[in-house]
Chains A and B, each alone.
Chain A
Amino acid sequence: MKHLTSIRELDRASAVSILDNADELAGVNSREVKKLPALRGKTVVNLFYENSTRTRISFEIAAKRLSADVINFSLATSSVSKGESLKDTAQTLEALGADAIVIRHPMSGAAHTLATKGWISGSVVNAGDGSHEHPTQALLDALTIRQLKNSGSDLKGLSVLIVGDIQHSRVARSNCLLLTLLGAKVTLAGPETLLPQTFREMGCEISHSFEEALETKPDVVMMLRVQRERMQGSFFPSEREYAAKWSLAGERLKMLGKETAILHPGPINRGFEISSAAADDPRSAVLAQVKNGLSVRMAVLYKLMAGEG
């Protein structure tokens, strides 16, 4: 395996092996010397066309823990249309010695294009492309759920509810594909304008009532961030109405089972899609997700760059 641009590139066994490796590599993060020599002499470039603090830092630390050299290259979104082309940028970075490019891009398919156009010979890792996919986020979510639920190697028998702006969410898409691949039942919930029926074809159930979805007692509830710019598109009448019907707060928080895990990919809009009470609830796994992000990204970089598999 050379690239990771979509969960579709994984089968069950390779997904489980990434999760297993991540669990193993997590040990490094609690050592006094938090480093392995696995990628010594290799260079990883974080090519970010979108602002993202947590994902970029997570990839950066992951690469450094494996002893790779890391270069961060961030470009404003506006330069995508005005400045140097993706092809020229990527070829320049490779000429400078990049062995892998971790790319975040506002356009769906950009990582796939970079991996398949023949512009470069190195590995490509998708760190989020438009509203298409964010595979390492799904892997870290799967790892978090597996750890919390002690479900063995995969997620068989577990039910996961993903709530919010599904339509524009790459996290939702990657999770639909990965969690179902690992045997979980995934239900998506959100207002119909943000959750088209076509998501059924990705193997998910669909609900347009948060309460009804909660009554099925899911093992995990994953809240998605709602981007405020969606308001301009008339996807819902007002922030107030959205919060009233779709935030994880108040009575709905009380409907959660004792063992139900609360996940959120961050950054959180407290008081909008999730209340502070829910975000700070002991069932919230948000910080476990961040930690797992680090080990999952180590496992992915290792798998793609150290010649394994």
Chain B
Amino acid sequence: MRLLKGVRLASGEVTDITIEAGKIARIGKSKESGLDCSGLIALPGFVDLHTHLRQPGFEASETVLSGSRSGVAGGYTALFAMANSDPVADNASVVEQVMTLGQEAGLLEVRPIGAVTKGLGGEELSALGLMASSAAKVRVFSDDGHCVHDPLVMLRALTYVKGLGGVVAQHAQEPRLTEGSQMNAGALSTELGLKGWPAVAEESIIARDALLAEQVGARLHICHLTTAGAVDVVRWAKARGIQITAEVTPHHLMLTEDLVRTYDPVFKVNPPLRTREDTLALREALIDGTIDIIGTDHAPHSSEKKDCEWDQAAFGMVGLEHAASVAQEVLIESGASDWERFTEVLSSKPAQIGSLGDQGSLKEGQEANITLVDPAASREIQAETLSLSRNNPFAGLTLKGQVVHTLFRGKFSFRDGKVKNA
């Protein structure tokens, strides 16, 4: 038995949580003594629908184990691993390998995402059904990093995955409009002489896919929304009754394209950092529910991929250990929302989109996947995290909120700021 004393729930209620046999036995005051958690907020463990764990293939940047360590430090109890590994997770054996690596790490639940098309090539469907029926039970399919741009392939994928009870997560980027693109298209890209990535390349794909999803009655998830216009399109699609969900990254909520002036590739990401107006629209949409979740798009890269010319550098930033602080900044510190909404965007909604039934809620009888956050803590972000990579655009910022403990299936995976090896 384990007892968390004096926790505050998202509702504001201060209580105790009793854990037995890996499950939440009771939420309510207890007379027993236990771990003093006064001042901490107890939330259902966070679920990231968008993580690049880089294994197999890019183990110098991250492994399932190192990514899991970074994940628990960020308060996560489940990570969905994107399919762009090498080999690509487009068949049952790769997704089962990733799942097994996750179980061996044992710190949180690693859920593999299956590629939509073979080799992320955008042409032939991958082994969608076999991945779904494999031991990894894949329910989320994505070519993330690449857009499923062929409308017929996308239509078939939506239809087929609907039959599997899953969801297609689209990386919305019209490829012809973004050939060689390096940063947000606008006055700054003009001045810096970097090839622009126009908002319309994202918005046009979201609009198209929303209509395709509507036609076949499929679920569609949009990865990393970045523009004010994309928010409008999603708002329109939801009003029309289309089964669309949308995600925003911590970096698109916090950082803007002005950072590109430094030509420091730590700020190079795809889709790119946008304008302040876009950031404000994304925040508003996260608050009002147009955007459903925060997905980190945690994309570690080894230093040689970033210690070079801007055009040569890889796209991507780490994010697992800062997402909760960014969510706190946008929802709580702003005074615009509350911890209930915080729970939705980091836990319950991503669990629901990813068909992860046993996560995302804090209820008696559920697995004890719990994150304890100290909302009053303030910290200056260091480039170095538990990730193997240091491409951290938040370095130097001071953010509020600190994950203190994470429990996975009733055991501490992270306690007092330290990873507990399983």
Q: Do A and B come from one complex?
A: yes
**Interface SS, B side:** loop
Q: Tell me, in angstroms, the Cα distance from A130 to B310 when the chains sit together.
A: 11
Q: Chain B contacts of A270 at CB under 8 A?
A: none
A57 to B310, CA, bound (A): 27
Q: A201 an interface residue at 8 Å Cβ cutoff?
A: yes
Contact A85 B263 (CB under 8 A): no
A169 to chain B minimum Cβ distance, whole angstroms, is 9
* Closest partner residue, chain A, to B186 (CB atom): A198
Q: Give the shortest distance, in Å, between A176 (CB) and chain B (any CB).
A: 9
Give the Cβ gap from A33 to chain B, nearest Cβ, in Å: 40
Distance between Cα atoms of A210 and B213 in the complex (Å): 48
Contact for B192 among A108, A167, A199, CB less than 8 A: A108
Is A112 in the interface zone, CB < 8 Å from B? Answer: yes
CB-CB under 8 A from B308, the residues of chain A are 85-87, 113
Give every chain B residue within 8 A of A276 (Cβ-Cβ): none
Please state if A196 and B309 are interface contacts (CB–CB under 8 Å).
Answer: no
How would residues 85 to 116 of chain A score, 1 for a CB under 8 Å from any chain B CB and 0 otherwise? 11100000000000000000101111011001
Cβ-defined contact, B191 with A130, below 8 A: no
B307 and A107 within 8 A (CB): no
> Which residues on B sit within 8 Å (CB–CB) of A116?
262-264
Asked if B312 lies at the interface with its beta carbon under 8 angstroms from chain A, I say yes
| Contact across chains for A108 and B193 when beta carbons are under 8 A apart | yes
A243–B177 CA distance with the chains assembled, in angstroms: 27
Q: How far is the CA of A81 from the CA of B310 in the complex (A)?
A: 12
B190 within 8 A of A: yes
| Residues of chain A in range 126-166 having any CB-CB distance to chain B below 8 Å | 129-133
Is there an interface contact between A107 and B187, defined as CB atoms closer than 8 Å?
no
Chain B: minimal CB distance from A64 (Å): 29
In the complex, the chain B residue whose C-beta lies closest to that of A130 is B193
A112 to B194 alpha-carbon distance, docked (Å): 13
Interface mask (B76-101 → A, CB under 8 Å = 1, otherwise 0): 00000000000000000000000000
- Nearest Cβ distance between residue A116 and chain B, in whole angstroms? 7
User: Is A198 a contact of B194 with CB atoms below 8 Å?
Assistant: no
Flag if A110 contacts B309 (CB, 8 Å).
yes
From B182, B192, B262, name the one whose CB has the most chain A CB atoms within 10 angstroms: B192
Given contact pairs A113-B263, A116-B262, A132 touches B192 in the complex (Cβ within 8 A): yes
Decide yes or no whether B304 CB sits under 8 A from chain A.
yes
> Which chain B residues numbered 252 to 278 have a C-beta less than 8 Å away from chain A?
262-264
Query: Bound complex: CA of A110 vs CA of B311, how far in Å?
Result: 9
Q: How large is the interface on A (under 10, 10 to 19, 20 to 34, 35 or more residues)?
A: 20 to 34
User: Are A107 and B191 in touch, CB under 8 angstroms?
Assistant: no
Question: Are B187 and A133 in contact, CB atoms less than 8 angstroms apart?
Answer: no
Once bound together, how far apart are the Cα atoms of A198 and B257, in whole Å?
15
Q: Do B191 and A201 have beta carbons less than 8 Å apart? A: yes
- Output the least CB separation between B99 and chain A (Å): 35
> Which chain A residue shows the least CB distance to B262?
A116
Pair A105/B186 contact, Cβ less than 8 Å: no
Contact A198 B187 (CB under 8 A): yes
Q: B193 to chain A: closest CB distance in Å?
A: 3
Take A198-B187, A201-B187 as given contacts and tell me if A109 and B194 are in contact as well, using a CB distance cutoff of 8 Å. yes
In the docked arrangement, what's the CA distance between A107 and B310, Å?
8
A129-B262 in contact (CB<8A)? no
Known: A132-B193, A170-B193, A201-B187. A109 touches B307 (CB 8 A): no
Of all chain A residues, the one with the shortest Cβ separation from B311 is A107
Is A109 a contact of B186 with CB atoms below 8 Å? no
Inside 8 A of A129's CB, which chain B residues have their CB?
A: 193
Residue A225 is within 8 A (CB to CB) of chain B in the complex: no
A80 interfacial by beta-carbon distance below 8 Å = yes
Q: Judging by beta carbons under 8 Å apart, are B193 and A173 in contact? A: yes
A57-101 contact mask (Cβ, 8 Å, vs B): 1 or 0: 000000000000000000000001100011100000000000000
How far is B263's CA from A116's CA once the two chains are assembled, in angstroms?
A: 9
Q: From B182, B190, B309, B311, give the contact of A198 (CB < 8 A).
A: B190
> Are B311 and A108 touching (Cβ within 8 A)?
yes
Judge whether B190 and A133 touch: CB under 8 Å. Answer: no
B311 nearest CB across to chain A (Å)? 4
Q: Chain B residues with Cβ under 8 A from A87's Cβ?
A: 307-308
Chain A hits for B190, CB < 8 A: 167, 196, 198-199, 201-202
Any chain B CB within 8 A of the CB of A117? Answer: yes
**Do B312 and A108 touch across chains, with their CB atoms under 8 A apart?**
no
A5 nearest CB across to chain B (Å): 9
Q: How far is the CB of B285 from the nearest CB of chain A, in Å?
A: 26
Q: Which of B307, B309, B312 has the most chain A CB atoms inside 10 A of its CB? A: B309
Flag if A109 contacts B312 (CB, 8 Å).
Answer: no
For window 302-350 of chain B, which residues contact chain A by CB distance below 8 Å?
304, 307-312
The reply to whether B191 and A105 contact each other, CB–CB distance below 8 Å, is: no
- State the Cβ distance, A23 to closest chain B Cβ, in Å: 30
Contact partner of B193 (CB less than 8 A), chosen from A80, A81, A131, A196, is A131
User: Which of B187, B304, B309 is in CB contact (< 8 Å) with A109?
Assistant: B309
Q: How far is the CB of B275 from chain A (nearest CB, A)?
A: 12
Q: Specify which chain B residues have a CB less than 8 angstroms from the CB of A109 in the assembled complex.
A: 192-194, 263, 309-311
Closest-by-CB residue of B relative to A201 is B187
Closest to B308 in A: A85
Contact A117 B311 (CB under 8 A): no
Q: B61 CB to closest chain A CB, in angstroms?
A: 17
Report A-chain residues with C-beta under 8 Å of the C-beta of B304: 85
Tell me the A residues contacting B by CB distance below 8 Å.
80-81, 85-87, 105, 107-110, 112-113, 116-117, 129-133, 167, 170, 173, 196, 198-199, 201-202
- Name the 5 nearest CB pairs between A and B, nearest first: A132-B193, A109-B263, A108-B193, A131-B193, A198-B190
5 residue pairs bridging A and B, Cβ less than 8 Å apart = A81-B312, A85-B307, A87-B307, A107-B309, A133-B193
List 5 additional A-B contacts (Cβ < 8 Å) besides A198-B189, A201-B191.
A107-B311, A132-B193, A167-B190, A201-B187, A202-B187
